[in-house]
Amino acid sequence: MKTLVIYFSAEKATTARVAKDAAQLLGAQLYEIKPEIPYTAADLNWRNPLARCNREFFGRKQVPTTGGIENFADYERVLIGFPIWYGCAPLVVSSFCKGYDWTGKTVAAFATSGGSGIGKTAEKLRPFISGGELLNAKLVHSGAELAAWAKELP
Ligand SMILES: Cc1cc2nc3c(=O)[nH]c(=O)nc-3n(C[C@H](O)[C@H](O)[C@H](O)COP(=O)(O)O)c2cc1C
């Protein structure tokens, strides 16, 4: 089955490391979601009410992305990963997902966090995976853990 690992990572490349290691173990292609305007450290300072992350989240803003996936239709399985922000997937991830046709794909989400559990991450992301089947979401700590979970997915 042709697998694509998509990820977004911003602070410390924690999610990037997990995604890259898992893609290598699975022999999967890798794609990074990049916001049109990259996040600076100040943008991510959620302790500042006026920081970009807070303005986007509380303003429910779309966050446009740059680039794109060639031959997206060729992939049957997609793993999509991100850091948990405010208890769910960052808006840049849902904005990205909206731009693609997920028909016929099985999708699983993975996340890293600063301590939160996976919560309702899958439920909240599901509406943006139009036509696809988002099976589940899992909090992961390493590429090996993610690859092992991916191999057991239906
Ligand atoms: C804007 C923002 C919101 C966050 N919200 C949460 C949260 O709700 N729960 C949590 O456990 N961690 C939260 N974090 C921490 C990240 O999920 C955690 O540091 C993650 O592993 C970073 O991954 P990265 O290095 O790939 O960006 C937040 C971080 C940022 C920047």
Q: What is the pLDDT of residues 47-74, one digit of tens each?
A: 999 999 999 999 998 999 999 999 999 9
For residue 106 the two structure tokens come to: 């099985």
Q: Which residues line ligand 1 (CB under 6 A)?
A: 9-16, 44, 46, 53, 83-87, 112-116
pLDDT number for residue 4: 98
Q: What is the value of pTM for the model shown?
A: 0.97
Domain boundaries, the chain: 3-152
pLDDT number for residue 1: 81
What would the pLDDT profile of 99-143 be if each residue is shown by its tens digit? 999 999 999 999 999 999 999 999 999 999 999 999 999 999 999
H runs (alpha helix) in 42-126? 52-58, 91-98, 121-125
In the reported structure, the alpha carbon of residue 67 is separated from the centroid of ligand 1 by a whole-number distance in angstroms of: 24
In the reported structure, the alpha carbon of residue 113 is separated from the centroid of ligand 1 by a whole-number distance in angstroms of: 5
Q: How far apart are CA 7 and CA 10, in angstroms?
A: 10
Q: Which CATH superfamily is domain 3-152 in?
A: Flavodoxin domain (3.40.50.360)
In the reported structure, the alpha carbon of residue 70 is separated from the centroid of ligand 1 by a whole-number distance in angstroms of: 29
For residue 127 the two structure tokens come to: 């509406």
Q: How far apart are CA 66 and CA 4, in angstroms?
A: 18
In the reported structure, the alpha carbon of residue 82 is separated from the centroid of ligand 1 by a whole-number distance in angstroms of: 9
Q: How far apart are CA 86 and CA 69, in angstroms?
A: 27
